Structure 1
């Protein structure tokens, strides 16, 4: 990130948002708000080609401070990854898409207290030694 680009983005987004971006994503960016998902994440795009590194002109501003990539829904992930040209709110294919499942989308909880933990229902083949203690006489 160049000094001129940093100063220009500071003027565009303001000091508070500029500082917040440096703390969260490590870069100062300015762009147009494209949309938001059901979790409150905001999605931005900067169409000015010479300001951003190619392929880094779309980004997400997460609501939570402790974020990871599984908090992005699939329809927004396809837009961020340049699989789809239009954002989900303007894409007619996604608007007419009905998912085959009825469950709501949730993030991946692996490594968190909410992760799925299976339990074993099979009797073990090897049992641990269980000593029998006799009372002393």
Structure 2
């Protein structure tokens, strides 16, 4: 973490909560000026990657929801939040991708390949 961010957080921040990834969420201690909102920010645990912020905390950071509570109800259809895996070995690669062997399923005959004359 940047030393400036650490000092600013120590002087002006009040920790609101923490998510399952270890990211910590802060809000400015003092009251904002009339017509403004309190500044909110996140201190990432590990690599700084915006997609590591779960939806409920994203909504809080953007002033659209209250801070999520530890006891919030989760539905059985909800999936665990995953950060963006692009560029990692866990990234999705469709069939036929070069890194998946480069072999795609045969064409179904609904098109004719172009060949130059």
Bin of the TM-score, shorter chain as denominator length:
0.5 to 0.7
User: TM-score, normalised to structure 2's length?
Assistant: 0.65
Q: Write out per-residue CA displacement over residues 2-38 of structure 1, whole angstroms, 9 at most, x where no aligned residue.
A: xxxxxxxxxxxxxxx882626xxxx834211111011
CA contact (8 A) 1:43 1:60 kept: yes
Count matched residues: 97
**What is the aligned partner in structure 1 of residue 15 from structure 2?**
33
1:106 correspondence with 2:69 = no
Higher helix content, 1 or 2? 1
Q: Are 1:76 and 2:54 an aligned pair?
A: no
Paired residues for 1:1-137 under 5 Å? 19=3, 21=5, 28-29=8-9, 30-48=12-30, 49-50=32-33, 54=36, 57-64=39-46, 66-84=47-65, 86-89=66-69, 95=72, 97-120=73-96, 121-123=104-106
TM-score (norm 1): 0.57
> Gaps spanning 5+ residues in structure 2: where?
97-103
**Worse overlay, 72-81 or 109-118:** 109-118
4+ aligned runs moved over 3 Å, structure 1: none
